Amino acid sequence: MAYGASTRFESASRLLGIAAIGLCALIGGCSGATYSGPGWSARVIDMETGAPIEGAIVVLRWPLELYSGSFAGWLFVTEAVTDKDGIFTFPAWGPLEAPIDSGRQTRMSPNVPELSIFKSTFQVERDDCCSDTSYLNKEWGYGKGPTIRPSWAADRHFALTRFSGSARQYASYLEGAIPTNGPACAFVATPRIFAAAVMEDQALQRTYGIAIPHQRLAYFEQTASRDGCGRSVASVIGRYIQ
């Protein structure tokens, strides 16, 4: 995603963004960027054995940026689970319109979606396309880019490595590694990964007396209440808790 690597373009592209907004005002308004994408599949395997990994949770996040390249929220998030052959599939999506943020148009970077893969006892695999920032000042002319977005991850194999370390090290690792961040009330769109986080916390507490503070059900419930989600996390993820 370009928002983390494109600060050197911030000032110039902000000026262009302001100019574009002024032009929109003069001509009576501009329509938002609208995006869609085809369905696709990929595969998850064990790095050591090459065997398929069943039951891995794949979280897909489509973040947005301002025309300056700064992070501007999320278009949507979703998830899938691998089958016995290690294959996961995401259906076609869209069209979805990128919102206006404080009067400024948002758009989608060419480097997304962001992909995270979680399976208990393995390290979390995180990836995006390219971290390319060249489009910020030439390729798209500061525009919204292609409206159809095929995924860079289609038909690839993703290999997971088993975590090596103590239970305490594993808990510390999971604190920031399980992909439960995203838009407010993300547990509604990605209940499986929230359930997996809760189960990891419960298992570590039960066996070793070690908690994962920011992956606990109580923490998720507190955040959901603060964000005005109108639903309890337990009621949404309960069917996935084993």
Pair 117, 215 in one domain: no
Amino acid 19: pLDDT: 44
Pair 217, 149 in one domain: no
Report the C-alpha gap between 2 and 5 in whole angstroms: 5
Q: What is the mean pLDDT of the chain?
A: 87
Q: At how many degrees (to 10) do helices 217-226 and 191-208 cross?
A: 140
Q: Which residues neighbour 196 within 8 Å (Cβ) at sequence distance 6 or greater?
A: 57, 118, 120, 178, 240
Pair 171, 147 in one domain: no
Pair 14, 124 in one domain: yes
Please write the tens of the pLDDT for every residue from 11-52. Answer: 433 444 444 444 443 333 455 789 999 999 999 999 999 999
pTM for the complete prediction? 0.85
226, HSE (Cβ side, Cα atoms, 13 Å) = 7
Amino acid 117: pLDDT: 98
Pair 155, 176 in one domain: no
Please write the tens of the pLDDT for every residue from 210-231. Answer: 999 999 999 999 999 999 999 9
52, HSE (Cβ side, Cα atoms, 13 Å) = 13
Pair 176, 157 in one domain: no
**Domain termination residue (choose one: 163, 198, 220):** 163
Pair 238, 158 in one domain: no
Query: Domain containing 172: what range?
Result: 165-242
Report the amino acid identity of residue 58.
V
**Domain termination residue (choose one: 130, 148, 163):** 163
Pair 50, 115 in one domain: yes
CATH of the domain at 36: 2.60.40.1120
**Domain termination residue (choose one: 114, 129, 163):** 163
Pair 139, 187 in one domain: no
Across the range 165-172, mean pLDDT stands at 97
Pair 7, 109 in one domain: yes
Domains: count for the chain: 2
Pair 24, 108 in one domain: yes
Pair 241, 187 in one domain: yes
